[in-house]
Amino acid sequence: MSKSRYGINVARLGVCLSLSVLLGLGLPLSSGAQEDLPEGFKQQGLPAPLPAEQIEAGKRVYFTKCVWCHGVEGAGDGPGAVRLWPRPRNFNAGTFKIRHTASGQLPLIDLDLLQTVTHGLPGSAMPSWEGILTEQQRKDVLAFVTSQLVQDRSWQDEEFEEFFVLELDQLAPKEGTPESIKRGSELVVEKKCIECHGLEGRGDGNAFNLKDDWGFSIQPADWHKCWNFRGSRQDPYNVKNIFRTFSTGLNGTPMPSFADNTSVDERWDIANYVNSLCEREQEIKAPQGTVTDEIALTFSTSQPLGIDPLTDKPKSNFVVPSKFVEGDLPTDEHDERWNLIPRRWIAMGGQITHKPRNFVNRIDDMWVRALYNETHIEFMFRWDDRTKSIQEDEVDWDPTEVNLEDYGVEEQAPQGTTFEEDPFHQESIAAKQKDGYAVYNDGVAFQFPIKWQELPAPRKPRYFWGDERFAADITKWTADGTLGVYEGTGWDEDFTEVDFQEEVEVVKAEWANGQWTVIVKRPLKGDYDEVAYLEQGKYIPMVFFAWDGHNGDVGRKMAVSAFYYLVMEPPIPMSTYIYPGLITVGIVIIEGWVLGRRANRRKAKGHA
């Protein structure tokens, strides 16, 4: 599948040479050369060299802002690099992922690279520099990077470089109709996209065998999180971005360009399908990637999630609503009653407060729904995880133990091993290869304060497993089948088992096509002093935790959320209907009185 960076150049050596000669002479291109371009591309000449003053001005920008991650020589090895995944770009070889140019070619400086610096690369540490650097400063720094730090290639190299540019602005996007989406879903199978991106597009196919040009592990994109697409340009639901990536490929990665073996029309269909998979207000499932007419229609009509322009992620809402249902709680995820409540997006970040910190966090969000009846509450957690991880060997520690440093669970050192030096070092799993390290259990957990009713607002037990004064009630499930309820009294204090284990139940735990579905049921009430006593209509603080076993997550190495509030919504009281009725009637009376007075006054005036 993977195409070498120079694959196209080699394949078209003859044409390239003749084109370069023609360009060098400034002659118009012959129609013969045009025919060889992939559909939707046009050839463009080499850019002029950038002035020395601009390069010098860019050096000042680079050494203030960029050097910290990209390094003095631009080799992507600044002080920040070792603890980052994805790694900062190594500029030296001139290999750039997001481009309008054909596979293997250099990017357009004033379009591709400027957009990257302007909008950042979501899902990586590269931020948007708009509003921080002026446009001139952004252009200056690109002049420095492209002329001084890209060493192996040059934009002015007439012999080896050429630019086939995707004419994205000239191509009108095909409308995302159900037919187009359905055809796209068939094309991703035909074009073998699913081999890496997985049947349902969660990036779970071949997820741990891929490497980039520098030997670092790289993972296929999860199509359900378009806001993390590197090329999303702060406009994640725009199908043009997907079309561009699909047409030009991502240089330096196993993602090839499909320009040669797909028509523009097919590419729009695929882009429409990939775009439709990105999570929306409504949860839509196409099991095994099979899109029926009905599913295609739902895809094409559902609303995108609101994106927060300050974070470029979906907007957060810190209230997790739960609705009352009659009778037994659902036994699986297909129960219609889950649709009574909106699913809530839980943002998750790496645990970087206490050792061992998790600098490379793989679970960056989770979806939660909750339903309750007279006696129990049920939570459905769904989160994307490219691998199902179940620890094969017996663990040496007890489920209640939290200090695992003694067992060799450590955080990534700041000046760590490189992949070449030590591919099997377990500290920096992110950039490593398959089977080189211990795999721990995937898992999910949530905590409530014990006796939250007595907390002096806004005091809570600390988000990290409670504290000395206020204990936390922690429900934790791990993929080996363990479900426990524990009392936590601090980040470094071992859990205490609570006599509640028999009461809680895993209703369902299934990993399929890159997604976990875990449904956990627990009683609303237990021993008041030992477990959270859940009540209707109250704000009950809640924190979520998740572990990805293939990422080396275990113990405190995990993903963690902020405080959310569980609210078990009570039935609507009668007063909601009575008072507005009274108010309406009252206003009608006042209106009559005002108009009557006015009419009387006019009458009196008229008589006088």
Partner 1 sequence: MTWLKLVEGYMPMQMISELAGSILVFALVNWALNRAGMGIPKFWAGVGVWIYIQLYLKYRIYPPIPFSVRAIYGTVSGCGIFMWVSGSEGEWQEFKRPILNVMDGISGFHKGMRTAALIVIPLALGGFAYSSFLPSFEEPIELRTVHPAPPATTKVHGRTFVLQVVENPYRVNNDGKYDQAFTDARIVEQAMGRLMKDVNDPNYNPWDPNAEGYIKYVREGGEIFFQNCHFCHGDNLNGRGLWAYAFNPIPANFTDAGTIAQLQETFVFWRVSKGGIGLPGEGFPWASVMPPWEQHLTVDEIWKVVMFEYWHTGYYPRTWD
Show contacts with partner 1 in window 398-417 (CB under 8 A): 414
CB of 67 to partner 1, least distance (A): 6
Contact status: 593 vs partner 1 (CB under 8 A): no
Among 186, 401, 422, 467, which residue interacts with partner 1 (rule: CB under 8 A)? 467
Task: Provide the residue count of the chain.
Answer: 608
String marking each residue 482-521 x if it binds partner 1 according to CB under 8 A: ----------------------------------------
CB of 144 to partner 1, least distance (A): 10
Nearest-CA neighbor of 371 among 561, 522, 525?
A: 522
State how far the Cα of 586 lies from the Cα of 580, in Å rounded to an integer.
Answer: 10
Among 2, 18, 118, 124, which residue interacts with partner 1 (rule: CB under 8 A)? 124
Residues in 309-338 that interact with partner 1 by CB under 8 A: 309-313, 316-319, 321
Could you give the 3-state DSSP secondary structure of residue 565?
strand
Residues in 418-457 that interact with partner 1 by CB under 8 A: 457
CB of 538 to partner 1, least distance (A): 10
Contact status: 347 vs partner 1 (CB under 8 A): yes
Provide the 8-state DSSP code for 128. -
CB of 582 to partner 1, least distance (A): 9
Q: With respect to partner 1, which residue has the nearer C-beta, 160 or 563? A: 563
Residues in 348-377 that interact with partner 1 by CB under 8 A: 348-350, 352-355, 357, 359, 361, 364
CB of 132 to partner 1, least distance (A): 5
Among 36, 130, 186, 335, which residue interacts with partner 1 (rule: CB under 8 A)? 130
Among 575, 604, 605, 608, which residue interacts with partner 1 (rule: CB under 8 A)? 575
Q: With respect to partner 1, which residue has the nearer C-beta, 28 or 571? A: 571
CB of 471 to partner 1, least distance (A): 12
Could you give the 3-state DSSP secondary structure of residue 510?
strand
CB of 38 closer than 8 Å to CB of 114 = no
State how far the Cα of 234 lies from the Cα of 229, in Å rounded to an integer.
Answer: 9
Q: With respect to partner 1, which residue has the nearer C-beta, 4 or 353? A: 353
- The window from 133-141, 164-172, 211-219, 250-258 that contacts partner 1 (CB under 8 A) reads 133-141
Provide the CA 75 distance to its chain's centre, in angstroms: 26
Nearest-CA neighbor of 95 among 227, 209, 4?
A: 4
State how far the Cα of 173 lies from the Cα of 178, in Å rounded to an integer.
Answer: 15
Print burial letters for 1-16: b (CB count within 10 Å at least 16), e (below 16). Answer: eebebeebbeebeeeb
Among 134, 282, 375, 453, which residue interacts with partner 1 (rule: CB under 8 A)? 134
Q: What is the dihedral sign for C-alpha 13, 14, 18, 21?
A: positive
Bond into 86 cis (ω within 30): yes
Among 28, 131, 327, 606, which residue interacts with partner 1 (rule: CB under 8 A)? 131
| Cα distance between the two ends of the chain | 98
CB of 266 closer than 8 Å to CB of 38 = no
- The window from 104-112, 131-139, 280-288, 477-485 that contacts partner 1 (CB under 8 A) reads 131-139
Please state whether beta strands 349-350 and 496-497 pair in parallel, antiparallel, or not at all (unpaired): unpaired
- The window from 238-246, 327-335, 519-527, 582-590 that contacts partner 1 (CB under 8 A) reads 582-590
Please return the burial class of 186, using the count of CB atoms within 10 Å of its CB with bins 0-12, 13-18 and 19+: middle
State how far the Cα of 458 lies from the Cα of 470, in Å rounded to an integer.
Answer: 13
Q: With respect to partner 1, which residue has the nearer C-beta, 26 or 537? A: 537
State how far the Cα of 410 lies from the Cα of 405, in Å rounded to an integer.
Answer: 6
Among 192, 285, 598, 603, which residue interacts with partner 1 (rule: CB under 8 A)? 598
Contact status: 304 vs partner 1 (CB under 8 A): no
Residues in 243-272 that interact with partner 1 by CB under 8 A: none
Nearest-CA neighbor of 299 among 404, 458, 183?
A: 183
Could you give the 3-state DSSP secondary structure of residue 578?
helix
State how far the Cα of 387 lies from the Cα of 434, in Å rounded to an integer.
Answer: 11
CB of 444 to partner 1, least distance (A): 15
Please state whether beta strands 376-384 and 515-523 pair in parallel, antiparallel, or not at all (unpaired): antiparallel
Residues whose CB is less than 8 angstroms from the CB of residue 173 and which lie 6 or more positions away in sequence, other chains included: 239, 240, 243, 268, 271
Q: With respect to partner 1, which residue has the nearer C-beta, 15 or 125? A: 125
Q: With respect to partner 1, which residue has the nearer C-beta, 359 or 500? A: 359
Residues in 554-573 that interact with partner 1 by CB under 8 A: 560-563, 565, 567, 569-570, 572-573
Residues in 49-108 that interact with partner 1 by CB under 8 A: 56, 59-61, 63-65, 67-69, 72, 78-80, 82-83
State how far the Cα of 47 lies from the Cα of 43, in Å rounded to an integer.
Answer: 12
CB of 550 to partner 1, least distance (A): 20
